[in-house]
Amino acid sequence: MRWVYRFTKCMVLTGCLLTSGCASLTTGRDPWLGRDKGQHFAAAFLISAGSGSTFKQNGQDASDAGFAGFGVALSMGLGKEWYDRSVRRSFWSWRDLVWDVAGAAAGAWLVMESD
């Protein structure tokens, strides 16, 4: 399905636009290699691989399923950062999103490469 590919491209573009040049807006203590960064990577990886595998089992080809899984995981990561900023009154962590993108990409790659 081409709509999945287009949707994922839009999500990736949105994520890139939201995160470009804004690393200096991070406040508080947010190390690049903090414990929560591994959790962000693992969660995004599992969400991407799990949802991508589900799409694949329901008839989509491997690349569409991988991109769809990436989009789902990135959406969840963006939602988590919005929750942190709006509900918890914490800060939006661009570094968390970098780890979310890395985990989502790894999960999407796994879906695309698996048989």
pLDDT in tens, 53-93: 999 999 999 999 999 999 999 999 999 999 988 888 888 88
Question: Is the model's pLDDT at 112 over the cut of 60?
Answer: yes
Instruction: Tell me what pLDDT residue 35 has.
Output: 85
Taking the C-alpha atoms of residue 94 and residue 25, their distance in angstroms, rounded to an integer, is: 8
Look at the pTM and tell me if it is higher than 0.85: no
The answer for residues whose C-beta is within 8 angstroms of residue 111's C-beta and 6 or more apart is 48, 49, 52, 53, 56, 62, 65, 66, 69
Domain boundaries, the chain: 32-113
Q: Are 44 and 11 in contact (CB under 8 A)?
A: no
State residue 7's pLDDT score.
Answer: 59
Residue of 34 and 115 predicted with greater confidence: 34
With beta carbons less than 8 A apart as the criterion, state whether 27 and 85 touch.
no
CA distance 110 to 29: 32
Kind plus residue range of the DSSP H or E element containing 64: helix 62-86
The pLDDT assigned to 115 comes to: 73
**Beta-carbon count within 10 A of 84 CB:** 15
Q: In whole angstroms, what is the distance from residue 57 CA to residue 67 CA?
A: 14
The pLDDT tens digits for 9-64 are 655 656 655 555 554 454 568 888 888 899 999 999 999 999 999 999 999 999 99
